A and B are shown apart, each in its own frame.
Chain A
Amino acid sequence: MHLYLPIAGNSVNVFLMIGLGGLVGFLSGLFGVGGGFLMTPLLMMYGIPPTVAAASDSNQIVAASASGCYTHYRAKTIDVRMGVLMLVGGIAGGTVGVQLIKLLRRLGEADFAITVVYVLMLGGIGSYMFFESLIALRGRPSRAAAPRSPMYRRMVGALPFKVYFPRSKVTITALMPLLLGTLVGTLAAIMGVGGGFIMVPIMIYLLRMPMHVVVGTSLFQILFTCINVTVLQAHFNHSVDFVLALLLLIGSVVGAQIGIRIGRRLRADQLKILMAVLVLGVMVKMLLGLLLRPEFLVAYKGGH
């Protein structure tokens, strides 16, 4: 059964799109990531124009993250205070990132530099999470659980505006989530992805938040970021295909709920190692895309 997408200008298999939405929603519920890094390339492979794929994906993430946020809110696993600070930083960082990417593109080698940095960063974060969780699963104390180095503690301790975050049970300077949010927002704008899977490791390792609060807080932040992107894309680029988003979100809201339920049954280290596998998988996929000769030496412009 096929349905024509008015803005994408192509038709899609209804069940395939719902299934795709379900898969990405599942990952979203399990790990607190938006899933844009997975969904957008899959939609492009299906023949959806890149700009429409990215914008409509943002629209469906709104539904999946709203669904996940509700469940996390009821379970009291969203640190709203932390989330708002990171969101403010993220929006500021996104604005900076958009300007930065314009500047880098003018300089010429931006695409090359960005892609290489992205692959290295994913590889680094993924490998660190994987081995750290593996050690913890084997019963040894993990480095994340161990106290931070004196220099790191001194640096963080010297910063002003200390705030207690009761939901995360940490006392840190309000500047940390704000600055880290800005950093992720900038990176996300440059890379063209939501940044969930950069944000999650940062919350675990630098802000030292509990894993289940990390997932809920990440979804909270993603919800507002994606609302912003959807409205802006619809207004300026006319690239949101609501019919496509609707098909995807039917699957993703259900998938997100299943992901959350399975996530609750897993230990934090099990969740982390799965997240590490996902991040490394994305890195390998990107690396293969860079190393293997493409089928055609021309491609449609736009998108991520």
Chain B
Amino acid sequence: MRQVRLAAIALAIFAVFAIWPQHAATQIAGATGDLMVVPERVEIDLAYNGANIEVGAEVPAGYEAAVRLMSRPERLELKKLGKRAGLLWMGAGTVTFENLPVVYQVLSTAPLANLGTPVLRAQWMLGYESLIPDHTPGADLRGDLVGLKEHGGLFALREGALVRRGKSASLVAPAAEPPQRLRGTFRLPASAPAGDYSVDLIGFKDQRAVHLASATLHIEHAGAVRIVRRLALDHGLTYGAAASLIAIVVGLLTGVLFRSKSNEGH
């Protein structure tokens, strides 16, 4: 009995040692960074036409880095298009993607493929393969989904768009190599929904990765946009009746106006 227990303990210790180094190899202890998002809050009013979100980052010397901006993951159901009767392209069922953010953008200092292994990139959700892994439903339509999202500006992978801005003047560790300053810009389309977006800075060195810093971007409705939305969502019937009434009045007024103009002409 005692021998069995000892064997079990030995096996457990072996298992921990067998697994631990692999996991540890993807992490870097002690590395720190800084991330700044400007603006941190975006208000959607009637004049809103999307926003440029500037990110400034500080990463340790010798690191490559990526900044990932994404909205909260949710369920997305899309119409699948296929060929019917061997001739006509039309709706051929639906495809559902679970836990997919509406907005997903990445800026990086180098091509993502150079930053780490596919497993490492998947762990940090960098790249479209990590969003829709091969074994998940709809993975065969990944390219089409990404194309649709990129077409609308909601998805973007901008490799090399996180650029170095020289060495930092930080005096935190004067003896060591000073950290690098990075800068990049996310372009959010007007169709990006309101909500909280997570922004994460991930550093890479020697096929290992570390989460260096994070920030939150708040997008919210404001002014007339908020009022109209509240009316439409909370008082739909009144809103619909008012919209129809206004349309009728505008239509009739234009009719009267054109009639009087036409009479003047005679």
- Is A63 interfacial (CB 8 A cutoff)? yes
Question: For the complex, what is the distance from the CA of A296 to the CA of B95, rounded to whole Å?
Answer: 13
Query: Per a CB cutoff under 8 Å, which of A68, A74, A249, A290 touches B90?
Result: A290
B247 and A60: CB pair below 8 A? yes
Query: Per a CB cutoff under 8 Å, which of B82, B221, B237, B248 touches A62?
Result: B248
Question: For the complex, what is the distance from the CA of A64 to the CA of B90, rounded to whole Å?
Answer: 32
Q: Which residues of chain A (190-236) have a CB below 8 Å from chain B?
A: 227, 230-236
Query: Per a CB cutoff under 8 Å, which of B88, B141, B232, B248 touches A297?
Result: B141
Question: For the complex, what is the distance from the CA of A249 to the CA of B246, rounded to whole Å?
Answer: 10
Report the number of A-B residue pairs with Cβ-Cβ less than 8 Å: 187
Chain A residue numbers with a CB within 8 Å of B144 are 296-298
Q: A111-B91, A115-B90, A291-B89 are in contact. Are A11 and B190 (CB under 8 A)?
A: yes
B191 and A235: CB pair below 8 A? no
Shortest Cβ distance from residue B85 to the other chain A in the assembled complex, whole angstroms: 7
- Is A300 interfacial (CB 8 A cutoff)? yes
Shortest Cβ distance from residue B71 to the other chain A in the assembled complex, whole angstroms: 13
Contact with B along A162-202 (1 / 0, CB 8 A): 00000000000000000000000000000000000000000
Question: For the complex, what is the distance from the CA of A299 to the CA of B151, rounded to whole Å?
Answer: 12
A62 and B247: CB pair below 8 A? yes
B221 and A6: CB pair below 8 A? yes
Stretch at the interface among B8-16, B202-210, B253-261: B253-261
A112 and B85: CB pair below 8 A? yes
Question: For the complex, what is the distance from the CA of A254 to the CA of B251, rounded to whole Å?
Answer: 9
Query: Per a CB cutoff under 8 Å, which of A236, A261, A293 touches B236?
Result: A236
B255 and A235: CB pair below 8 A? no
- The chain B residue with its CB closest to the CB of A73 is B255
Q: A298-B79, A300-B79 are in contact. Are A233 and B48 (CB under 8 A)?
A: no
- Is B252 interfacial (CB 8 A cutoff)? yes
Question: For the complex, what is the distance from the CA of A62 to the CA of B248, rounded to whole Å?
Answer: 6
Contact count band on A: 35 or more
B244 and A231: CB pair below 8 A? yes
Shortest Cβ distance from residue B91 to the other chain A in the assembled complex, whole angstroms: 5
Number of interface residues of B (CB under 8 A): 60
B152 and A47: CB pair below 8 A? yes
Question: For the complex, what is the distance from the CA of A294 to the CA of B89, rounded to whole Å?
Answer: 7
B239 and A242: CB pair below 8 A? yes
- The chain A residue with its CB closest to the CB of B227 is A6
B255 and A11: CB pair below 8 A? no
B228 and A59: CB pair below 8 A? no
Q: Which residues of chain B (20-75) have a CB below 8 Å from chain A?
A: 44-50
- Is A240 interfacial (CB 8 A cutoff)? yes
Question: For the complex, what is the distance from the CA of A69 to the CA of B257, rounded to whole Å?
Answer: 14
- The chain B residue with its CB closest to the CB of A74 is B259
Question: For the complex, what is the distance from the CA of A246 to the CA of B79, rounded to whole Å?
Answer: 30
Chain A residue numbers with a CB within 8 Å of B237 are 231, 234-235
Query: Per a CB cutoff under 8 Å, which of A7, A233, A261 touches B229?
Result: A7
B239 and A70: CB pair below 8 A? no
Q: A60-B247, A62-B247, A298-B95 are in contact. Are A254 and B240 (CB under 8 A)?
A: no
Chain A residue numbers with a CB within 8 Å of B88 are 112, 115-116, 290-291
Q: List 14 A-B contacts (CB under 8 A).
A: A6-B226, A59-B243, A60-B247, A66-B252, A68-B255, A69-B251, A230-B244, A245-B243, A245-B247, A290-B89, A293-B89, A296-B148, A297-B80, A301-B78
